[in-house]
Amino acid sequence: MNTGKIRFIIGILFLFVSCAHVPAASVNDVYAPQDGKLAVRFLGLHKLGMKNGESTLIVTPGGTAILVDAGRREDHARLATMLETAGLKKLDYVIFTHFHGDHTGDFSRLAAAFAIGRVLMPRFDNYEGPELQRIMDAIQLRDIPYGYLAAGDRIELADGTTIEILHPTETTDYPDGVTGSQERTVFENQQSLVFSLRYGDHAFLFTGDIYKDTEYLLVRQYSDRLASDVLKAPHHGLGTSSSLQFLLAVRPLLTVVSSGEPTESTLSALRNRSRTLVTAAYGTILVTGDGHMLDVITEHEDATRGVYGE
């Protein structure tokens, strides 16, 4: 990881030592099958100024399809089109990082449109929001296998891809004193699933909507183990997250912000530490890897360079 072996196709091909002009990627390029490679698509669900919603599609070299979060309910039609364009009829895993409406999507419609192999999520006792109940209703209706993830769990696939869960602990419940809706929202974000995706030399860090307090906890617990080539920016690039201490531990080559409304000061901090791309500006961002070299292709050439670009 952090080998420097990463190149970008965003209207310009960057190789760190040379560059050449090439056309921006087409939709077919971004969603085309990447047989034998790891393909991570940070899905461009929103345009600039739109409310945040987040979803990432991972397809491993062996063809295992993993959807991490599903955007907002109103994003379903766009999400389904993206999955179909990628040639998918089945999602082997759907992972929910937490149960807020900008991540849970419309799971009942998703499960009706695609075969679902297994749903994985954090265990959160006494969660009071409606989103988890909607997920469980769809699981029960279609008899979908499901399970819970917690720190220390690992998913190991036959093609060598691994997912290691770093946060939260086995069971989450509201602590004493957390009673108001805003307090609950903050606490729920802090309990998002955080996991490392690895294949060969590549490492990706997924962070849900964690805040700086959880970032500090992760740095204390894992230190250099957080180092990753690609960081999915916590909490949509908002000012609640992306502390300097955390960024110094992760040391990403690329940071992806899944957002339509990131905070400019946070973007500046991210850009000071890594190449930073925002899905609202670039559309879907495809990162592929053969175990040694990572390639980055964006759906659009950023029309807002200097604002949400570099």
Position 267 in a domain: yes
pLDDT for 259 equals: 76
Position 1 in a domain: no
Position 306 in a domain: no
User: Which of 55, 41, 148 lies closest to 102, judged by CA?
Assistant: 55
Position 114 in a domain: yes
Measure the CA–CA gap between 246 and 227, rounded to whole angstroms. Answer: 10
Domain that holds residue 181: 6-298
Position 310 in a domain: no
- For 306, residues 6+ apart whose C-beta sits below 8 A from its C-beta are none
- Are the CB atoms for 308 and 302 separated by under 8 Å? yes
Position 307 in a domain: no
Enter the pTM of the model.
0.90
Position 236 in a domain: yes
Do β-strands 93-95 and 275-278 pair in parallel, antiparallel, or remain unpaired?
unpaired
Position 143 in a domain: yes
Q: How many domains does the chain have?
A: 1
Three-state DSSP class for residue 120: strand
Per-residue model confidence as pLDDT tens for the chain (310 residues) = 555 567 776 543 333 322 333 334 555 589 999 999 999 999 999 766 566 789 999 999 999 999 999 999 999 999 999 999 999 999 999 999 999 999 999 999 999 999 999 999 999 888 878 999 999 999 999 999 999 999 999 999 999 999 999 999 877 777 777 778 888 888 899 999 999 999 999 999 999 999 999 999 999 999 999 999 999 999 877 879 988 999 999 999 999 998 767 788 888 889 999 999 999 888 999 999 999 999 999 988 764 444 444 4
Do β-strands 65-68 and 93-95 pair in parallel, antiparallel, or remain unpaired?
parallel
Measure the CA–CA gap between 46 and 183, rounded to whole angstroms. Answer: 27
CA 165 to the chain's CA centroid: 14
Q: What are phi and psi of 135, to 5 degrees?
A: -60, -45
CATH number, domain with residue 131 = 3.60.15.10
User: Which of 74, 90, 47 lies closest to 258, judged by CA?
Assistant: 47
